[in-house]
Every structure is written in C-alpha cells, then in structure tokens.
C-alpha cells in the first residue's frame, strides 16, 4: 500500500508513541509513522533518520510518490554532539540543497521548511520543545496531567535512591524515570505509547496543544 503522508521518527519506541497519538487525535488524513529501517537503512537512529530523509524521502516528495512529510527527532544534549541549534543546522544542511528553507515565522511549536517551487512544506519537531536540549521523554514529563505529577516525582525519587547508584548513564535518566512511571500505571508497561492513553497527559498543556497543532498543519485534510 502506498502511503502519501509520512512522519519519520528515530526508532520503534517513537513510532509506537506517535502512532498512538495520531490515533487519539484522529488526524484528518492517514499518516504512516516510519523509522529509518522502513526506508532501507540498517539502523534506527537520529543520524539514520537524517540520512533517509535526504536520500529517500526528498526524492519521493519530488516525484509525487509521497505528498507530505514530517520528521520528529530528539534535540539530545550539546555535550553529546546534539542540542537544538545543531539539530536544526543538520536538518537545514540536508533540506536546503533540495530547495527548502526554514520559515522565518514557524507555526506555534513545530518547525516548517518551505520549498522554493511550490512543494508542500516539510515539518520538523525537535524534541522536546523546539528550543531546549532533551528528548521525547522530556516532552512527556513536561506535559503530565496534574494528577500524575506526584507519581512521576516519586519515580524520580526512587531512582535517586537506587542502591550503589544507577547502572545507566546520567543522560539516560529521563528514560528510566518515564519507564518507571509507566510501570506503576493501572496497566504496567514501559512502552512509551502507553503515555498517550487518556488521563496521563494534560491536553491543556501548551506543548501538548502545540504538537497537535503542528501535526494538523503538516497533515491537513485533503
């Protein structure tokens, strides 16, 4: 089956989360959430997503195989070679040769790259909020339903009290915090898609609304 609307993400955990969100929000068109492996890459990573964006999906946009495209990746940290500005620069490096420029005034929250010859905009969301360092887990933590904040704080405290300290790197702590919080829900599971269930996130939170508005802007009704 040919999919006309593609949301490119870093890997399987992100795919499951965005699939759950798209289903919950009932976007006006069908959107296929894809990973780099779906496009033939050997890995599912941020850099692999950039690679297939440039070598696969830009060509498919140009020849009409797909009509609309967006990418959602983590900013990560500047100390680890990432950060928001560096991530946007990497996107621009790949999109500019194909005729795309970052709009001076992007839509609330997300980014839009406009084409110089009439093709649809390419959307980009750099987790968590298109400004700061971080990842999808930071976005989840920043959009918790008020009733979930105390449980998240307890999960964070429990990790701080791990005997002999955590085995994971400090940069992966948010992943452990969110996984612990999800493991304490009514239906315990560590999959990020669980966070998209009603009642866990605050639908009135500015970044929650901004992500929804951005997706609806990139993938409007036909």
> What pLDDT does 107 receive?
56
With a CB cutoff of 8 Å and minimum separation 6, the contacts of 63 are: none
Backbone φ and ψ of 124, nearest 5° = -140, 130
pLDDT of residue 1: 47
In the chain, what's the furthest Cα-to-Cα distance?
A: 59
Q: What is the residue extent of each domain of the chain?
A: 5-135+204-218, 137-192
- Per residue of the chain (222 residues), give pLDDT as tens: 468 999 999 999 999 999 999 999 999 899 999 999 999 999 999 999 999 999 999 999 999 999 999 999 999 999 888 999 999 999 999 999 999 999 865 556 799 999 988 899 999 999 999 999 999 999 999 999 999 999 999 999 999 999 988 898 888 899 999 999 999 999 898 899 999 999 999 999 999 999 999 999 999 987
- Cα angle: 42, vertex 20, 200; to 5 degrees: 125
The strand pairing partners of 112, in sequence order, are: 123
* CATH class for the region spanning 5-135+204-218: alpha beta
Calpha distance 199→119 (Å, rounded): 38
The pTM assigned to this predicted structure is 0.94
Q: Give ∠ CA 190-172-41 in degrees, rounded to 5.
A: 80
């Amino acid at each position: 089956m040919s999919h006309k609307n593609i949301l490119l993400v870093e890997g399987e955990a992100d795919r499951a989360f965005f699939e759950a969100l798209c289903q919950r929000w009932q976007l006006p068109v069908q959107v296929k959430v894809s990973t780099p492996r779906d496009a033939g890459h050997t890995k599912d990573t941020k850099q692999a997503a950039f690679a297939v964006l440039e070598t696969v999906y830009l060509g498919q946009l140009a020849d009409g195989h797909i009509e609309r495209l967006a990418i959602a990746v983590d900013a990560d940290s500047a100390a680890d070679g990432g950060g928001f500005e560096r991530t946007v620069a990497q996107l621009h490096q790949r999109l500019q040769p194909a005729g795309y420029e970052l709009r001076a005034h992007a839509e609330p929250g997300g980014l839009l790259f406009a084409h110089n010859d009439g093709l649809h905009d390419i959307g980009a969301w750099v987790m968590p909020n298109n400004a700061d360092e971080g990842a999808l887990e930071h976005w989840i933590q920043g959009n918790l339903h008020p009733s979930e904040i105390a449980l998240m704080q307890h999960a964070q405290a429990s990790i701080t009290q791990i005997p002999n300290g955590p085995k994971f790197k400090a940069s992966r702590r948010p992943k452990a915090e969110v996984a612990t919080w999800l493991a304490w829900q009514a239906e315990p599971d560590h999959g990020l898609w669980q966070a998209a269930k009603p009642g866990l996130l605050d639908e009135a939170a500015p970044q929650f609304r901004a992500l929804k508005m951005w997706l609806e802007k990139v993938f409007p009704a036909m």
